[in-house]
Structure formats: structure tokens, C-alpha cells
Structure 1
Amino acid sequence: MVENFLKKNKWFLIVLAILVGFYVRQETLILSMPLEVDFVTIAFAILSAIGIHLYFHYKKKRNQALHFAKLKRFPKPKKKNNIENILNFLSIIFVSFVLFIVIKLVFNYAVIKHAETTHLTLRTIPIEDCVRGKYAHVTFTFEGEKCSLPYNPKEVNEAEIVRNYVLKLQYSRSYFNSAVIDNQEVLRK
């Protein structure tokens, strides 16, 4: 069943992967977004996915009932097995995830576009931590909230970056007093 889904819907999955990439890119640009926005978006996505699932589930049941009514015989009701329940649950989770990504992409796009109309602010922030791995990033505190941003590592070790470097942010304000980063640099003090 899963193999058939992947064969038939590979373009959908490719587009979904691209949307997730855009979402991750947009999320790294926005700082100080209230958690309430994410909670409302998640709740809306889950309720919408449940509504979509129920609509199609009962539409299928109604069509089956109309078909059997025309035949003047009704089948015995089948018990749902655990695999069907698990697949229904996973489909709701998957649809919720897709809806969440799409809603957040639209919302983040609006936040970024609104930030382009406001003035830019330049701020120098001390670096609290530096992590190198597959993706290097620096950690800092922005308005009381711990944040991290990717950076291009130089031939300097992590301890020296924390002691001798600062993060220069150029950002503008948008909805919910969030900050949208326009430019970032890791500079020597």
C-alpha cells in the first residue's frame, strides 16, 4: 500500500520536500515570533485534517449505503481492525503536517513582505555558543530569547569565536513585533 502511494505520488512528495525546504529557510529568517502563532496554526491544521478525513470517510460510507440500498440488501457491518485505525491516524497526521507547512509558508511570506516596508535596525549581539558539525551555527540571546543562526565557519576554533567575535544583525520589525533578518555577519570584536 505504501509502495503504491510512493509510486503514484512521487511528484507530490518532491513538491512537499521543496515546500519544507522553503519553510525551514523562512523560519531561520524570523526571530521573536510568539509561540501562540504556531499553536494556533497547528490546531487549525489538525482540525482541518480531521474535518477532511471525516468528510471523505462519511462520503464513502454514504455512497456505499446508496449502492446497497439500490441492490435492496445490506452487508453486515465489519469491525475495524487496528491496522485501519493506525492508517487513519497516520493519514490525519500527514495531512496536518502538509497543511501546517502550507499555512506557515503563507504566513511567513506575509511577515517577511511586511518587514520589507519597515526601517532596518542594526544591532551587535555577543555570541554565547558556537557549534560546528554538518551545519555550523552560533547561539545568542535576542530580546530574552535564545536563538541560533547558521554561519560560514572560518579557520577559527569555537572557543575563540565565543570570546573574540560578535554577531552583527541587520533586521526589520514585522507583525507581532517579530524581527526579520536582512543581513547577518560574524565579526571580530
Structure 2
Amino acid sequence: MKTKHDTQRRTQQTKERLKKKELEYQRDLQRYNEILAKGVENDIPPKRAKCKRRSRRRVVKKIQPPPNHPKRPQYSSLGSSEKTPKQSYSPSTDLPPHLQETTTKSFENKVQLKHTYPELLKIINQNLSSNTIDIPLIHNLAPKNLEYESKRFSIPADFYNSTVELPNYSDANEIDFFFAETLKSDLSLV
């Protein structure tokens, strides 16, 4: 809570501050008048008059092409002009050898279209030591379970007789009737 004594003290402090500011202002004003009385403003040099700059003339340089001097003839012996151009490659190193000349056998040369799956596996296992087989071939080709594969794709004999495995067509008779009618309406080609 503010007391009466606190508010009086604050008002007294603000009055003192205002007195100090007023005294500083009076001192500054007195000092300024003393300087003006001495005629100090005459010591300030006059401002220089602004002169117009002369516009600079542009010097246009003509662009000239470089001088074309005729080339001096190069004297060379007659033997050097008769040389044949050198080949840019040597056929022995750059071209692959002919298939008839190759003696190395790779996996691709051994595999034929008539091989069965077990025969292919046998050939791969024989060539595992050489680097002619791809790594994916080594890892992905495993012996097939032929019995399982044959059972997987075989259709049992009683498949069409059992009603459990057939889908439930409620409109099967209507479909048969539709196809019978379309066959009757078609004209015979004979």
C-alpha cells in the first residue's frame, strides 16, 4: 500500500529533477550567448560554390579484326608426304577372338535347350568351381520337388462332380437358355 509519506517523497524527487534540467538548460543557453557575442560564427569558412563538371567525351574505339597474315609454306621432304596413315587400332588386341578359335568352354556353351531341369542342376554343380556361373544362379537353383509340383497342377477326377467346389450359380439355367436362344437365332454358314 502506498502511504502519504511515499507519494510526498516521489513528488519531491520529481521536482528536484525538473530543477536540475532547468539549471542545465539555463547554463547551455548562457554559454551559447557568450559564443555568439565573441563573433565565433565568422571563423566558419564559407561553403564552396558547386561547379559544373565537364561532360566527359566518349572515345569510340573502332573494333578491327586481327591482321590476316598469309601462312608461310612449310617445307618438307617428299618421303614424308608419301606415308600411309597409321591405323587408330590394332586388330589383334581390340577385336574379340573368333568363336572357332576359342578353346575355353563356359557354362553357356554347355547348356542346351534339350536339357531337363535335373540335368541343368547337374551341370551347374559341376561348374561351381569356375567363375562362369552367375551367383544368383548358384543360390536360386535348388532341386525341385517334382512330386509336389505334379500334385499342385493336377486336377482330381471327381472335381467337376462335387458340388462343394463349384461356385454357386443361381442363374445357371438362365445362362444356358440364353446361349441356346442365340444359337437358334444365328444363321448357319452352310
Q: Same fold (TM over 0.5)?
A: no
The answer to which structure, 1 or 2, has the higher relative contact order (CA under 8 A, 6+ apart) is: 1
Structure label with greater radius of gyration: 2
If each structure's helix is expressed as a fraction of its own residues, which one has the higher value? 1
If each structure's strand is expressed as a fraction of its own residues, which one has the higher value? 1
**TM bucket by the smaller chain?**
under 0.3
- What TM-score results when the alignment is normalised by the length of structure 2? 0.20
- What TM-score results when the alignment is normalised by the length of structure 1? 0.20
